[in-house]
């Protein structure tokens, strides 16, 4: 069963901020949508992963660092959507369901500069990864989950390639979102059996 970001096993992990600066991903020769920032080690690992890809295919980062206000807005909006879809649902159940798609703000890796949302692009544009980035479980009938089976063979192959290069570079995936990869956050600490996350909220570092 997938461990979600709202799980006590994640929220109980401490965050010991190491003061690592944020960097513009452009300085690591990464393709981005607009200007995107992440912690230096995250950026370096993404750059390494990019070199592992076959000729003609690149990573493209759609979002890195996210302001706390934006994280809260996404969280509130999705919680409201879930409440509309499930009349009478409890606050606790909304919290759990919402964390499949967006992190509770107190543990959000994007806010720490520890996570990126990304895809693969080739000569003719984005490759088929099964769903658009940020497709909710409801919109995609669960196809946004990395291991989803209701996607094409091509999309499964491309997801496997994405995972191969990013995992080899030391990043980890949040299993409910094929596009979400991180390093140094609480989910990384849980997955890699580290005692603490390396990064806390980081927007003030820009």
Both tokens assigned to 153: 């063979």
* pLDDT band at 204; cut points 50, 70, 90: low
- The annotation status of 29 as a binding-site residue, yes or no, is no
CB 109 within 8 A of CB 115: yes
Instruction: Provide the pLDDT for residue 1.
Output: 80
Query: Which secondary-structure segment (H or E) carries 68?
Result: helix 68-85
- The annotation status of 86 as a binding-site residue, yes or no, is no
As annotated, the active-site residues are 177
Instruction: Provide the pLDDT for residue 203.
Output: 61
- Listed residue (169, 173, 170, 127) closest to 2, CA to CA: 173
Q: Pairing relation of β-strands 58-63 and 37-39?
A: unpaired
- 8-192 folds as Muramoyl-pentapeptide Carboxypeptidase; domain 2 (3.30.1380)
The predicted model scores a pTM of 0.95
73-92 per-position pLDDT tens digit: 999 999 999 999 999 999 99
- The annotation status of 110 as a binding-site residue, yes or no, is yes
The phi and psi torsions of 15 (rounded to 5 degrees) equal -115, 120
Query: For residue 110, how far is the Cα from the chain centroid?
Result: 7
What distance in Å separates the CA atoms of residue 77 and residue 83, rounded to the nearest whole number? 10
């Amino acid at each position: 069963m997938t461990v979600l970001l709202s799980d006590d096993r994640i929220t109980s992990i401490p965050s010991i901020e190491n003061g690592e600066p944020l960097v513009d991903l452009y300085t690591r020769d990464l393709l981005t949508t607009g200007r995107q920032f992440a912690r230096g080690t995250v950026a370096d690992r993404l750059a390494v992963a990019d070199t592992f890809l076959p000729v003609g295919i690149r990573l493209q980062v759609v979002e890195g660092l996210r302001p706390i206000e934006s994280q809260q807005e996404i969280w509130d909006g999705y919680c409201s959507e879930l409440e509309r879809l499930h009349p009478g649902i409890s606050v606790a159940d909304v919290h759990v369901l919402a964390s499949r798609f967006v992190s509770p703000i107190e543990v959000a890796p994007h806010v720490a500069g520890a996570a990126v949302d990304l895809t693969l692009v080739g000569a003719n544009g984005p490759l088929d990864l099964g769903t658009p980035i940020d497709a909710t479980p409801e919109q995609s009938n669960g196809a946004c989950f990395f291991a989803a089976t209701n996607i094409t063979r091509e999309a499964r192959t491309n997801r496997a390639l994405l995972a191969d290069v990013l995992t080899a570079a030391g990043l980890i995936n949040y299993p409910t979102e094929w596009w979400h990869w991180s390093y140094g956050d609480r989910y990384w600490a849980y997955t890699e059996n580290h005692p603490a996350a390396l990064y806390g909220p980081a927007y003030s570092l820009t």
